[in-house]
Amino acid sequence: MIQNVNWIGLRTLYMKEVRRFFKVQTQTIWAPAATTLLQLMIFSVALGGAGREVLGVPFAAFVAPGLIVMGMMQNAFQNASFSFLAGKIQGTIIDLLMPPLTEGELMVALVAGAVTRAVLVGLALAAAMAFWPGVSLSMAHPWAVAWFGLMGSVFLALLGLLSSIWAEKFDHNAAFTNFLITPLTMLSGTFYVISNLSPLFQTISRGNPFFYIISGFRFGFLGESDIGSTNQAVLHGAIGVGLLNVVLAAIAYKVLRSGWKLKS
């Protein structure tokens, strides 16, 4: 037993977050899944014709894992970025700050709620894509699927939490999404292998954490990725993503503890 943890309060806030997005599941789970399926259809038709293969598999099978984890990450960000921002705008932020929860408990509950939504979106996408022609979701390395799926969701949930603390209106949060999250996601190798890029842009891509998350998740299904084709090569990326989450969690904790833009 870990002492001095308000387990009841932590569980209550977590369940509140889950019930909030589950009450509108058509918008928060099924709509993102449908949108991602449309992306799979469009890119498969546009780029996957004439039996094109990437990394030795049909193009649809190559792009499907990246779309699944991309959908998971985007929804983790959206869920985590909503609570504080909506509370500040509606004047109900006190409902999150007044209960007897430490900053760490508050952060864990909000991030866990966002990750739960991400996992549900990922499962919905995987179930739909399993019936897509040319897509096989058999897992070559289940550990990579679980690790990069969860770490990618935690990473975007922490970014969403920080975004909601910084933002003062929904426009600010939309700018964070449009000018940071979306470009990093689209330029991460979701729809291509970075070996097709010039050396300069390959170097830039390898500085993008989204690249390691999406490539590592793809490795879990295909056994091949831009990172490498061995467990050891991908493990280095897995450790890097884990350490990045630890740093980001420490920053989020410090910001919450300071009360910046929350208690002023």
The predicted model scores a pTM of 0.92
Tell which residue, 192, 235, 230, has the closest CA to residue 211: 192
**What is the Cα–Cα distance from 206 to 237, expressed in whole angstroms?**
10
Give residue-wise pLDDT tens across range 176-202: 989 999 888 888 888 888 888 888 888
Which H helix or E strand runs over 153? helix 142-166
- Sequence-distant (6+) residues with CB within 8 A of 132 are 37, 40, 60, 64
Query: How far apart, in whole angstroms, are the C-alpha atoms of residue 202 and residue 204?
Result: 5
pLDDT digits (tens, 9 = 90+) for 82-122: 888 888 888 888 888 888 899 999 999 999 999 999 999 99
At 48, is the pLDDT very low, low, confident or very high (cuts 50, 70, 90)? Answer: low
